Amino acid sequence: MRKTYRITVVGGGSWGTAIANLLGNNGHDTILWVRNRELLTVLKEKRENPIYLKGVKLSRNILFSNNLEESLKNRDIVAFAIPVSFLRGVLKEIKQKPNGMAVSLSKGIEIDSFMTPTEVIKESLGIHEDGLAALSGPNFAREVAQSLPTATVVASKNKETAMAVQDAFSSPTFRVYTTSDVKGVELCGAMKNIIAIASGISDGLSLGLNARASLITRGLAEIVRFGSRFGAKRETFMGLAGVGDLILTCTGNLSRNRSVGLRLANGETIEAILSSSKMVPEGVSTVKAVYMYSKEISVELPITQEVYRIIYEGKNPKEAVKSLMNRPLKEEYYLL
Amino acid sequence: MRKTYRITVVGGGSWGTAIANLLGNNGHDTILWVRNRELLTVLKEKRENPIYLKGVKLSRNILFSNNLEESLKNRDIVAFAIPVSFLRGVLKEIKQKPNGMAVSLSKGIEIDSFMTPTEVIKESLGIHEDGLAALSGPNFAREVAQSLPTATVVASKNKETAMAVQDAFSSPTFRVYTTSDVKGVELCGAMKNIIAIASGISDGLSLGLNARASLITRGLAEIVRFGSRFGAKRETFMGLAGVGDLILTCTGNLSRNRSVGLRLANGETIEAILSSSKMVPEGVSTVKAVYMYSKEISVELPITQEVYRIIYEGKNPKEAVKSLMNRPLKEEYYLL
Q: What topology does CATH give the domain A6-180?
A: Rossmann fold (3.40.50)
Give residues with Cβ within 8 angstroms of B17, minimum separation 6.
B32, B49, B52, B53, B56, B58, B141, B145
CATH superfamily of A189-325: N-(1-d-carboxylethyl)-l-norvaline Dehydrogenase; domain 2 (1.10.1040.10)
What pLDDT was estimated at residue A130?
97
DSSP state of B98: -
Average pLDDT for residues B205-230, to the nearest whole number? 95
Contact A6, A75 (CB under 8 A): yes
Three-class secondary structure of residue A33 per DSSP = strand
The HSE-up count of residue A207 (CA atoms within 13 Å, CB side) is 29
A225 touches chain B (CB under 8 A): no
Residue A322 pLDDT > 90 = no
Residue A2 pLDDT > 90 = no
Average pLDDT for residues B62-66, to the nearest whole number? 98
Lowest-confidence segment of A265-279, B84-98, B296-310 by average pLDDT? A265-279
What pLDDT was estimated at residue A254?
76
B-chain CB neighbours of A210 within 8 Å are 138-140, 143-144, 148-151, 248
Q: Does B322 or A239 have the greater pLDDT score?
A: A239
Percent of the residues in chain A that have a pLDDT greater than 90, as a whole number: 90
Residue A318 pLDDT > 70 = yes
Residue-by-residue DSSP string for B42-65? HHHHHSSBTTTBTTPPPPTTEEEE
Residue A331 pLDDT > 60 = no
CA distances from B198 to A245, B157, B188, B207 (A): 18, 32, 15, 12
B325 touches chain A (CB under 8 A): yes
A87 touches chain B (CB under 8 A): no
Q: Does B272 or B323 have the greater pLDDT score?
A: B272
A119/A122 Cα distance (integer angstroms) = 5
Residue A332 pLDDT > 80 = no
Lowest-confidence segment of A178-182, B87-91, B240-244, B319-323 by average pLDDT? B319-323
Average pLDDT for residues A305-312, to the nearest whole number? 97
Asked if A325's CB is within 8 angstroms of B150's CB, the reply is no
What pLDDT was estimated at residue B328?
60
A-chain CB neighbours of B207 within 8 Å are 148-149
Range(s) within chain A of domains with CATH label 1.10.1040.10 = 189-325
Asked if B235's CB is within 8 angstroms of A209's CB, the reply is no
Beta bridge partners of B136: B153
Average pLDDT for residues A246-254, to the nearest whole number? 91
The residue of chain B with its CA nearest to that of A329 is B177
Which tens digit of pLDDT belongs to each residue from A120-136? Answer: 999 999 999 999 999 99
Selecting from B212, B235, B333 the residue whose C-beta is nearest the C-beta of A239 gives B333
The complex scores an ipTM of: 0.95
User: Which H or E run includes B31?
Assistant: strand B29-33
Asked if B221's CB is within 8 angstroms of A238's CB, the reply is yes
A-chain CB neighbours of B321 within 8 Å are 149
Average pLDDT for residues A183-207, to the nearest whole number? 96
Is residue A336 very low, low, confident or very high in pLDDT (cuts 50, 70, 90)? Answer: very low
Average pLDDT over chain B, rounded to an integer: 94
Residue B336 pLDDT > 60 = no
What pLDDT was estimated at residue A335?
37
Average pLDDT for residues B316-335, to the nearest whole number? 72
Average pLDDT over chain A, rounded to an integer: 94
- Helix B182-204 vs helix B256-265: crossing angle, to nearest 10: 30
Contact B23, B9 (CB under 8 A): yes
Residue B136 pLDDT > 60 = yes
B235 touches chain A (CB under 8 A): yes
Three-class secondary structure of residue B229 per DSSP = coil
DSSP state of A49: B
What pLDDT was estimated at residue B331?
56
Contact A215, B248 (CB under 8 A): no
B170 touches chain A (CB under 8 A): yes
What pLDDT was estimated at residue A330?
58
Instruction: Compute how many other C-beta atoms are within 10 angstroms of the C-beta atom of residue B38.
Output: 9
Name the pTM for this structure. 0.95
Range(s) within chain A of domains with CATH label 3.40.50.720 = 6-180
A254 touches chain B (CB under 8 A): yes
For residue B227, the distance in angstroms to the closest alpha carbon of chain A comes to 15
Which tens digit of pLDDT belongs to each residue from A43-96? Answer: 999 999 999 999 999 999 999 999 999 999 999 999 999 999 999 999 999 999
Q: Does B1 or A55 have the greater pLDDT score?
A: A55
Which of the residues A122, A183, A192, A288 is marked catalytic?
A192
Residue B83 pLDDT > 60 = yes
Instruction: Compute how many other C-beta atoms are within 10 angstroms of the C-beta atom of residue A211.
Output: 25
Residue B302 pLDDT > 80 = yes
For residue B323, the distance in angstroms to the closest alpha carbon of chain A comes to 13
A-chain CB neighbours of B245 within 8 Å are 213
Q: How many residues does chain A have?
A: 336
Is residue A334 very low, low, confident or very high in pLDDT (cuts 50, 70, 90)? Answer: very low
What pLDDT was estimated at residue A105?
98
A38/A33 Cα distance (integer angstroms) = 13
Is residue A333 very low, low, confident or very high in pLDDT (cuts 50, 70, 90)? Answer: low
User: Which H or E run includes B32?
Assistant: strand B29-33
Residue B242 pLDDT > 90 = yes
B248/B148 Cα distance (integer angstroms) = 14
